[in-house]
Structure 1
Amino acid sequence: MANLDYFLKKNWNTNKLLDGNESNLYFSKIPSFSAYKFNFNFKNRINNDHFLYDYSLAFKINSDSKTIKEIQMLEILSLLELDGNLEEKNVLVNIKRIKEIYDGRKPSGKDEKKIWNLIEVLNLIKVEGFNINENNFELIIHIIFRNLGFDLDSKNSYYRNEKDKSIFKGLVETSLIDKELNYLFENIQTLSKNDIQGFTSAYLLLVNFIFISPYKEFNILIAFLLSKWFLVKMELEYEHLTPINHLGINWKNFVTLLNKSLTSDFNLDELFVFLDSSLKSKVNYLYRFDLLNNLFLENKKIPKSIFPNIICKAFIVNVLSYKNNSWKIEKIKSSFNYKNQVIFTDLQLESYLNFLVESKILKTISKNNIKNYAFADSDFEKIRRLLKD
């Protein structure tokens, strides 16, 4: 897989790779059946991979920290809210279930089995020697679909067919699914010999798997897992940088850009710029989250009760990303949703904001006779000013 040489290499032989190609486009080998191949500006990708590598190093956090555990629980929630078809729509209920099952409680009911299955897969892809290949992938698929009513001995039970609908356009024809899956894994085995590795390869795996969308359910979820699995095997400890939660917040843009690529010339430049931005935001998000946790350890005056659950902490970290130093409640409402689903009701949000004001974390100020919120606590304000998305 990718290694430090990829990110640190200074003199790329781009002339050879792009000989006669004035557009600087690099064409991947996928998909196999089409004259069109996924393509992108090679020089831009090398530069952006270098930048993201350096940026990630600059704001890297301890992999054993409390933050990583909390982020993984939020990631599980994000994946299941994105593509888990959960029956329970209350995010606060779902994060509570995730925490309990993450800590060892046995699941009961379909939603909790999905949580249990996903946690097992996330643990499995981190096992040393559990490499990306077809056999291990088949095991992951069996775990994801386990105890959910699918007959895994019959592909007709869980494979996509022509009648199944998708939000993505121009997907692989169902008759070609197995062929494209086989080709995908053949291509993965040669990634270490390719010129493009790193984050760009993780993006390519994400896009290509969604393009194939082999199954009736969980295609988006599995695509992100595959991308994350690849990052784990890069051995650079960047598996937590899959920008799942940030794509959920900007889900409409992601779908629009990917559909544009899949229904035109397979060029991924616009989509990759969007993914780069989301990944950079994820680095910032992790760092702010960790600073917030450290602040609680250092400042005993801040009451722990201001974070009754992880969602409330995620809410504060989201506010810490705002550029302006004060914000209308409409701004807060619009920025804290997932896949266009509101996480807090208006009443819940206003109640929590009032609680934060009473706790002297936030304060209210008037701008043009309109109530705005701002940080009252100087330590929180310092964190807000530290990074820019």
Structure 2
Amino acid sequence: MKKLLVHSSSHTYPVYIGENVRFEAEHLLKKTYNSILIITDEEVERRYREGLEKFFPRSNVHWSIIPSGEASKNANLFYQLHTDAIINGLDRKSLIIALGGGVVGDLAGFVAATFMRGIDYVQMPTTILAHDSSVGGKVAINHTLGKNLIGSFYPPRAVIYDTCTLQSLNLKEFRSGYAEIIKESLIADEEFFNQLLESDLSQISSQKLTEHLFKGIKIKANIVEEDEKEAGSRMYLNLGHTLGHAMEAELGYGVLTHGEAVAVGLLFSLHVSELHFSAKLPFRPLLHWIRANHYPLEHVQKFHTEAIISRMKTDKKSVNKQVKMVLLEAVGKPALVEITEDNLRVFLKSFAKRLVEE
């Protein structure tokens, strides 16, 4: 088992990564709670509830099951989970466990942040993608006009990351998760980025996966500790997300996975960076890797430019509806840059053309 500590302004919390660590949750938490509410989705419940219940046999453990998918990060389910917490007798000395991927983690974390003005919660990720969302304390639900627009900064008490739960993931979920690891490497570590480009996602060993996850989480943890509330450098973790979030919202949540949309957004960020900074960046190597691992790129040719720009204006980095993007002066050297609407139109058009030609 690997362990690292993340320091937030309110407390320090551990991240545990290893095989079967979910079964050690009670021992790892080292704290007694009056009640525990485990929030998960239908697919994760089917796979893991029976096994976990053997290690949580107490009468004060309750379950709330939500539909799988991004569409569940909505206000109605947020309210329903509060109702579940009340009916099951949770109080200020209770715990919420977010068992699942990024959707479950974001939603359950936001419930914990707001129930009785905040109770403890633990992230228990079951996807590669959730290595990113489970660390750093950003919790949220979606609005119909944009992704993650309703939320808070609320760090967990622990992250318990059982890599055995990743063995059942399909290639689509691997793609989704690895886009965020690629993002982290582009922000901070060129050598790590080049290593990742050598990876065939259909043949990743358990050892290599654990190594990649640990490096990605460490990069994110370092940035979060430096800028917990996203006033400065933490914004760099949004590399690829300005277009990615806009595509998710415009196509309808669930058409693309979050990571698939971010992968397109990363390519777009490199394209814009090259033009804005007159720099040579690894657009072509990343495009080759994305194609080799079968990320969907065809949606770029279909979206309406003005609709995408309108979505990009609602991005959380935007101020006075001016689009701000995280770009790269070089791999490992991110910068936040304001992009005019006129330039954005040009960049989107040339990006779509470049994907066809290269």
Q: State the TM-score, normalized to the length of structure 2.
A: 0.27
Greater C-alpha Rg: 1
Q: Which has the higher contact order (CA 8 A, sep 6+)?
A: 1
When you count strand as a share of all residues, which structure comes out higher? 2
Q: TM (normalized to structure 1)? A: 0.26
**Structure number having the greater helix percentage:** 1
